Amino acid sequence: MDALIKSIRPNKSTDTKAPETRPAELDPAEFLAAAVRADQPRPSRAEAEQAVQTLLGYIGENPAREGLLDTPRRVVEAFDELYQGYHQCPAEVLDRTFGETAGYDDFVLIRDIEFTSQCEHHMMPFYGRAHIAYTPVERVVGLSKLARLTDIFARRLQTQEHLTAQIAAAIDEVLKPRGVAVVIEAEHTCMSVRGVAKHGAMTFTSRFTGMFRDNPAEQARFLSMVRGPNR
């Protein structure tokens, strides 16, 4: 199912026809710049560590016992790593392209990009693979850049639907290709280790633009290559 994002532009039409089902555009400000501004007020590290101590006390632990004395510091350091995507700029990752394509006119697919992200609802991990394709116009981007782009968005609080849409929108906006296809498959620990506790349940989301959205044959070819004979 295509990940649908609520449009940022109000619909002023008085037409009573059925609403448009094509995915709406994201606000470019959301995916082209770092999410944290240099002048944005933030709690201090000491305040963040104190918050971890509060949570330890809330669950019934004794923050003063030996095994937990350094836990607040470790948790904040882990947060710095897990959420570094807030400080990185997606557009910069895609900024350098190459024109030596010898007239290549088919799509480029990178399959099985592993990632780990954090669910914005429970702050629990979800992890899986992203499959990304785009059809370039004259210039291509370095292959590792699509993996880096995935990591930038994944290292923020996310929903899988939003992650899928952000990756596709950034590629579409910066590279201006003839089309973008993104499929993400992931397991969510907020579903597998709590709540219904269904281990192994996988969630699939997709986003298609341009030729992949408008040409069913190209979309089918992309999906067949993602699934592959060995999957």
The full set of domains in the chain, from first to last, is 27-82 (1.10.286.10), 96-227 (3.30.1130.10)
Quickly state the pLDDT bin for 179 (edges 50, 70, 90). Answer: very high
Catalytic residues: 119-122, 160, 188, 190
Percent of the chain with pLDDT over 90: 70
The CA dihedral of 215, 231, 189, 77, to the nearest 10 degrees, is -90
- Report whether pLDDT(6) > 60: no
Q: Identify whether the C-beta of residue 175 lies closer than 8 Å to the C-beta of residue 136.
A: yes
What local confidence, expressed as pLDDT, does residue 105 receive?
87
Q: Which of 172, 180, 194 is nearest to 122 (CA)?
A: 194
The CA dihedral of 159, 133, 114, 229, to the nearest 10 degrees, is 120
For the stretch 47-96, pLDDT in tens is 999 999 999 999 999 999 999 999 999 999 999 999 999 999 999 999 98
For the stretch 160-176, pLDDT in tens is 999 999 999 999 999 99
CA atoms of 41 and 47, how far apart (whole Å): 13
- Report whether pLDDT(22) > 70: no
